[in-house]
Structure 1
């Protein structure tokens, strides 16, 4: 029997970490380290849940960005009776198992989708979790008829019918197939012929929505995504028909759409924005035949990539004091330390930090040529490099594996002078990658009297 990830990839003791870090301040911690601002992630999670509730659509939280139970709980909210999640590894599901069993004991509905077209080697572990959680709790992605054969051959390991989700490709060309493709029809025929699986929904990830630069563009991508899913579901059901089910909540086929830019773009529909009524009417119309749901993962912490999409305006149009997508909505910062200084380099002043790609990642950002932006911390001033503003300040201009090169951009008239040993907080380009090599997050809360004080430690799950 295969051992679950918590046994194969044991994590550092949470109790020991809390003894080490609780009560300390950011500046007391050895760099590099990852800091999450609890106030920011709570606000981002609450906004997503409030928006989807007001729009009458479902929401499915992706847990791959943070890989923690604590933030998963914030994503679904304390009041919900329906726990809908996406996970990119079996390990994520296995690590959530103790909490999910608590949710079931409380009478809550648990529904998790394994976020890749299912591979045969993962089926046994997924089936073990499904037996523990109950029939219909674990859904699987399919986009090839061979996936159905694999599921049929392992059906005796599963409790009841296996919910499958058809991956639709709406142009990103990662997983999935086009709505009118022969391959989609082949999968539909295989599902129709199988006694062991049932169609639960169709799903797409519109990763190319990261290229948008305004709320209007993001909403257009969202509409294209939703229409592509509707087309895919209609074409699938023409062949496969609808499977009977005793669960009244599963009677409608779910249309699950999202990447964070398109998922967060619907928050514009609660503002006085042009075209909001038209988009809401489209969602309402499709929701009559299907169950529309959004999914997203990086939105609780955000990052420089999300800031660059401008999927939401900086401030709410209805309430200008309310931030929607600005630097104040970035909940993850990486603590780094200055290792050396090079003020006389020919093109621009530079400095060395002991943090490269294994801390910050290598993903670029379309709004500037760098790998992270140095925040003003610990200074009270809000002066920092802004790709849409001053374009003056320190950025991570180049990276190697353990080395990062800071470069000063813009006029040097009011340069922020650095010292060797000085600690800095950096906003990374891509929060999902920046956290990968961190065993835990140190949590601070900017809504408290001391926003520098570490109030919690969240251990990241490991393994596959």
Structure 2
């Protein structure tokens, strides 16, 4: 199988970070062209540190998903400065290739590297994954499998092309029905037989993504889904090991096979356990019980930035039980905003005042949010406070109520006597529904630091990895 030299960095050349920094660093948010995506690194630092701290307190591993931001800089925050191991998941080959300079640096520092390609393996991905593995070393690049054919493709790869045993994480479906197979399915057993007989692949772990958890509306519901996820993946692992005839199988129990669980709501919910919120002890005991036989790790992606969807889950309380001055899941914990400019205003269009922004579907995405009828909430910026639409509170403020391709229609919700007047040319910052989608059509992020002397000043520019 020949190596395909046309990798994402060649097909999708990135803009010059040095040129971007020369253009933007030192400018104020209000002075840069709109639309643009703004990341507050202070918020991202706090969110990343809290996740790492939670995993450590609970005795769990953590694997950072980088699909939300697709940057080296935020990947480093997710892993942590002092980490001895770098465990990641990526949704595209471009993300893995984009991280290579940093990963090679980690290798030179003797850090353990484990990066997973986050879709069940496609044959066309093998040459590029193999090339990365040759650079990083055997066992560093793993793949997902939810069909025995995935193992067959790996068995056809020559050792000189992809050195060493290839780690395979088996996808188990516990009800979300995206990727993966059910614990009691014949297909899961067939994967086990194929992996047990494989000369090239070995079991790296079991993996599930419980996207259904985005429907939760409280810390208690989020913890419940965390329990469902953990129990469901454990069941899949036990059934898999029974039929696989692998050395790890001992009377139907696994000997420290990795169970990787998570979606941002359930991974976020794990933080409630360390806060000793209601029901925390029950889930702490569940984790401890399963950890006797398995190595449990959390994985998550959108948590460093958060967004309106995550806010709608209410997977954490608004403030810390231990420290009420510390926010956990409020507007203050959302680290990404979209800068837009008012193109026109329509105060008398109908029952509700409206305005137009140059920011429709290709800027905001079209993913809905269960807590309100829109595609973004306009923040109070540039003011420190003001009338903001709160889905759980006043429900009064500007939201993006309709979207076309480049057009976004702002709609005023609530009493007219509280109306925030807008003017043509005015810049606004909007909290998007889904951070992963809102950044897609931007080649870079403008970075501010609200912990610094001026939270409105651009302090850095982070280039996103593009392509597939």
TM-score greater than 0.5 by the shorter chain: yes
Q: Is 1:349 matched with 2:353? A: yes
Q: Is the 8 A contact 1:192 1:239 kept in 2?
A: no
1:230-309 counterparts in 2 under 5 A?
A: 230-242=234-246, 252-309=256-313
2:251 aligned partner = none
Q: Is the 8 A contact 1:199 1:242 kept in 2?
A: no
Once the two structures are TM-superposed, the CA of residue 195 in structure 1 deviates from its matched residue by 1.5
1:130 aligned partner = 133
Counterpart among 175, 190, 194 of residue 198 in structure 2: 194
Alpha-carbon separation, structure 2, partners of 1:151 and 1:256: 22
Post-superposition Cα deviations, 1:120-148, rounded to whole Å, max 9, x if no partner, equal 00001101111111111111100001111
Structure 2 residues without counterparts, runs of 5 or longer: 249-253
Q: Is 1:113 matched with 2:122? A: no
Q: For this pair of structures, how many residues does the alignment match?
A: 459
Alpha-carbon separation, structure 1, partners of 2:89 and 2:246: 23
2:4 aligned partner = 2
Q: Any runs of at least 4 consecutive aligned residues in structure 1 with deviations exceeding 3 A, and if so which?
A: 241-244
Report the TM-score when normalising by structure 2.
Answer: 0.97
Alpha-carbon separation, structure 1, partners of 2:43 and 2:325: 15
Report the TM-score when normalising by structure 1.
Answer: 0.98
Once the two structures are TM-superposed, the CA of residue 380 in structure 1 deviates from its matched residue by 2.5
1:366 aligned partner = 370
Counterpart among 216, 219, 230 of residue 223 in structure 2: 219
Alpha-carbon separation, structure 2, partners of 1:242 and 1:251: 11
Once the two structures are TM-superposed, the CA of residue 243 in structure 1 deviates from its matched residue by 5.1
1:158-173 counterparts in 2 under 5 A?
A: 158-173=162-177
1:247 aligned partner = none
Alpha-carbon separation, structure 2, partners of 1:449 and 1:103: 32
1:305-384 counterparts in 2 under 5 A?
A: 305-384=309-388
Alpha-carbon separation, structure 2, partners of 1:381 and 1:137: 47
Post-superposition Cα deviations, 1:201-249, rounded to whole Å, max 9, x if no partner, equal 00000011000000000011011100111111111111224458xxxxx
Alpha-carbon separation, structure 1, partners of 2:158 and 2:76: 31
2:442 aligned partner = 438
Post-superposition Cα deviations, 1:266-310, rounded to whole Å, max 9, x if no partner, equal 000011312211111110111111100000000000000000000
Alpha-carbon separation, structure 1, partners of 2:169 and 2:126: 15
Q: Secondary structure at the match of 1:41?
A: helix
Q: Is the 8 A contact 2:216 2:313 kept in 1?
A: yes
1:15 aligned partner = 18
Counterpart among 25, 28, 37 of residue 28 in structure 2: 25
Once the two structures are TM-superposed, the CA of residue 154 in structure 1 deviates from its matched residue by 1.3
Once the two structures are TM-superposed, the CA of residue 342 in structure 1 deviates from its matched residue by 0.5
Once the two structures are TM-superposed, the CA of residue 252 in structure 1 deviates from its matched residue by 2.4
Alpha-carbon separation, structure 1, partners of 2:52 and 2:386: 30
